[in-house]
């Protein structure tokens, strides 16, 4: 494959490609027929140190479609396994190629991956391609999460391929450029544990520690400290998800990253009416990955990581299991404490005290009972007088609000400090499911990107005090009845 004639300022250092070759296969992207730039993230490009001003968009599209390789790239497809809905499966990058790791001006290292770039050794009867709709959806959702302040992979570009992709019907094809701290997954460790030798597994662990959990390197037991650090990072991430009502939808172990970022935005969605049992993914028939189950699934996935790390935790398997279990047993209390701090911040309480856990839970119970909107409930709580505003026009929540005011008025700085904290914690606007679908319809059916661009502009300021149009702020009149999301493959 030719090297791109135009250098955008790539500065690759491909440390993963220097690991044992059992962890990946060397393969380039498959060229596409007619690449065309659909979306390009200028803000992210600048963060990465890329120079695009004055560059022909057609030249950028050639590189980000996979028709020409950036200078310094070493394209590979990563091997990994995973527990999908609890069942172990051999996987791998079946429709993605990692170009390399960009060293950015901020000193950080970022994976540059082309998603939808053709078949690889791991494609398993798949076509290796992606639809324009699915890639635009990931771009939109990942950018929304970033601006909500939640660790996430991001999207540099979406490029149209000019070739159809067959799903239930022919759809337009596209390639997404995904930017992430890395694509090392729990499933990567599962793969190494099952199919590689101990030396190779150890090399993966050392690489991961150096890249994402450097504090573990000098620990008495680096493998055990990696598990503990990963656990803390995942707790922080899941608490963020619960804060905004995000439902990942497919929390398989291959979608839990060691960088503790949100990634793989296939069947994800945002909860409108508060209900812990909320799920939207068409393949999650049993509700395994429902909103309220996400903490328990994170704990389960961490136990799978622990199993993969056992040989490096201790030479004696029984002792290794005991040590790993002791770390995993810390999860429930750590999560409860982190979740309580977050939930208290949502109602303006900086330092939780005795009785605050019950106050928070009573609010959630009242929201569930009344079908209250998760986002707008906390927005209404910030009003000087929310009486008459849903859900605080319900008797149960009117009584709750009086208790809350008493608690807030007893705090040192009172209501004004509480309101400032709530404004930093509670978004005014989220990527509402029905709006997401509307703008994707406009982009893919009507070939009109304007609604998507306008929505992205609003999502860049989710905590703004400026008036947000009801178009974006309100849930659909009929709620999310019948709404389903799909994985895109």
* Cβ-proximal residues to 113 (8 Å cutoff; 6+ apart), any chain: 96, 97, 98, 99, 177, 178, 179, 180, 183
Alpha helices in 51-102, H assignment, sequence order: 57-64
**Cα–Cα distance measured from residue 57 to residue 54, given in angstroms and rounded to the nearest whole number:** 9
* Both structure tokens of 227: 């598990």
What 3-state class would DSSP assign to 377? helix
* Cβ-proximal residues to 237 (8 Å cutoff; 6+ apart), any chain: 150, 151, 260, 261, 262
* Long-range pairs of 463-472 with CB within 8 A, sequence gap ≥ 24: 463/423, 463/424, 463/426, 463/427, 463/428, 464/428, 464/429, 465/423, 465/428, 468/428, 468/429, 471/435, 472/429, 472/432, 472/435
Closest CA to 115 of 162, 70, 153, 164: 153
**Cα–Cα distance measured from residue 341 to residue 450, given in angstroms and rounded to the nearest whole number:** 39
CA 34 to the chain's CA centroid: 30
**Cα–Cα distance measured from residue 317 to residue 145, given in angstroms and rounded to the nearest whole number:** 40
* Cβ-proximal residues to 413 (8 Å cutoff; 6+ apart), any chain: none
Residues with catalytic function? 254
Tokens 């390197």 correspond to 217
Residue 255: other Cβ atoms inside 10 A: 21
**Cα–Cα distance measured from residue 168 to residue 162, given in angstroms and rounded to the nearest whole number:** 19
């Amino acid at each position: 494959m030719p090297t791109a004639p135009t250098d955008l300022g790539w500065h690759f250092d491909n440390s993963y490609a220097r690991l044992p070759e059992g962890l990946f296969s060397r393969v380039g992207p498959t060229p596409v027929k007619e690449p065309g730039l659909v979306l390009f993230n200028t803000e992210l490009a600048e963060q990465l140190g890329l120079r695009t001003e004055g560059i022909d968009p057609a030249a950028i599209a050639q590189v980000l479609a996979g028709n020409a390789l950036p200078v310094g790239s070493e394209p590979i497809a990563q091997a990994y396994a995973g527990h999908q809905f609890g069942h172990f499966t051999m996987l791998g990058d079946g429709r993605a190629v990692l170009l390399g790791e960009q060293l950015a001006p901020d000193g950080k290292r970022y994976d540059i991956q082309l998603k939808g770039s053709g078949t690889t050794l791991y494609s398993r009867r798949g076509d290796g391609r992606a639809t324009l709709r699915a890639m635009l959806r990931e771009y939109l959702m990942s950018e929304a999460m970033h601006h909500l302040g939640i660790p996430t992979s991001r999207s540099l570009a979406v490029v149209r391929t000019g070739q159809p992709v067959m799903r239930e019907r022919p759809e337009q094809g596209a390639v997404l450029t995904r930017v992430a701290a890395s694509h090392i997954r729990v499933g990567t460790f599962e793969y190494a544990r099952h199919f590689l030798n101990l030396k190779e597994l150890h090399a993966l662990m050392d690489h991961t520690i150096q890249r994402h959990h450097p504090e573990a390197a000098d620990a008495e037991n680096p493998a055990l400290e990696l598990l503990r650090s990963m656990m803390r990072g995942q707790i922080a991430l899941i608490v963020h998800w619960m804060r905004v009502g995000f439902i990942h939808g497919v929390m398989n172990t291959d979608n839990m990253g060691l960088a503790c970022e949100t990634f793989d935005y296939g069947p994800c969605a945002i909860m409108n009416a508060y209900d812990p049992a909320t799920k939207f993914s068409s393949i999650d028939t049993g509700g395994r990955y429902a909103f309220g189950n996400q903490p328990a699934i994170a704990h389960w996935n961490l136990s799978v990581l622990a199993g993969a790390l056992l040989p490096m935790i201790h030479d004696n398997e029984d002792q290794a299991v005991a040590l790993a279990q002791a770390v995993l047993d810390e999860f429930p209390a750590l999560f409860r404490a982190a979740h309580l701090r977050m939930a208290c911040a949502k109602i303006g309480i900086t330092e939780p005290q005795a009785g605050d856990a019950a106050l928070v839970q009573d609010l959630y119970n009242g929201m569930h009972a009344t079908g209250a909107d998760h986002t707008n409930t906390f927005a209404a709580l910030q009003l000087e007088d929310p009486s008459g505003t849903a859900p605080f026009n319900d008797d149960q929540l009117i009584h709750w609000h009086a208790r809350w005011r008493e608690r807030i008025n007893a705090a040192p700085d009172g209501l004004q400090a509480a309101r400032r904290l709530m404004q930093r914690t509670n978004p005014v606007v989220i990527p509402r499911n029905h709006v997401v679908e509307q703008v994707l319809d406009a982009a893919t059916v009507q070939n009109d990107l304007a609604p998507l661009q306008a929505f992205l502009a609003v999502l860049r300021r989710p905590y703004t005090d400026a008036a947000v149009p009801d178009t974006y702020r309100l849930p659909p009149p009929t709620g999310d009845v019948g709404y389903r999301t799909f994985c895109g493959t």
